[in-house]
Structure 1
């Protein structure tokens, strides 16, 4: 349910940006580090929004991956410490009772 709401929010933002971008056919000059380009406002808006969205997901994914690796290490360490604390008990050999 949570993911559905997030998806709907992103979809609504995308639809609003496309709607606003369709009304803005003005050409603007965009200066970036290496060059300069003439772009329509709608194209520039959509491209920068998508780039920011992808960059945000990559950064969040890296943090999530780092946390998962730390959790896996901690679980392995806990398991190892539990094995040291309580060594496995070998089953006692059963001695058959002597019948007389």
Structure 2
């Protein structure tokens, strides 16, 4: 239930961000480390949000995998200790 509420909240925030971004039609110059580009504010907001979501998902997956490995090693230790008794 908590996961569903969190997902709905995230989707509402993303929809709000895209709605705000779509109202900004101004063109701005964006300076990268090696290049420069002219793009609309709404496009820049959408790209920034997408990159943030991808980075967040990757960090979450790495954390989940680390916890999964810890769980597997703990279960193996428990099995080993129960066989010794």
CA distance in 1, matches of 2:33, 2:66: 31
What does 1:59-70 correspond to in 2, within 5 Å? Answer: 59-70=59-70
| Bigger Rg over Cα | 1
TM superposition outliers: structure 1 runs of 4+ over 6 Å: none
Q: Deviations over 1:28-55 (max 9, x none)?
A: 1111222111110001001111110110
Q: 5+ residue gaps in structure 1? A: 87-100
* Aligned residue in 2 for 1:31: 31
CA distance in 2, matches of 1:23, 1:37: 20
Higher relative contact order (CA 8 A, sep 6+): 2
Normalised to the residue count of structure 1, the TM-score between the two structures is 0.78
Question: Helix, strand or coil: the match of 1:25?
Answer: coil
Question: Helix, strand or coil: the match of 2:37?
Answer: strand
Q: 5+ residue gaps in structure 2? A: none
* Aligned residue in 2 for 1:73: 73
Normalised to the residue count of structure 2, the TM-score between the two structures is 0.90
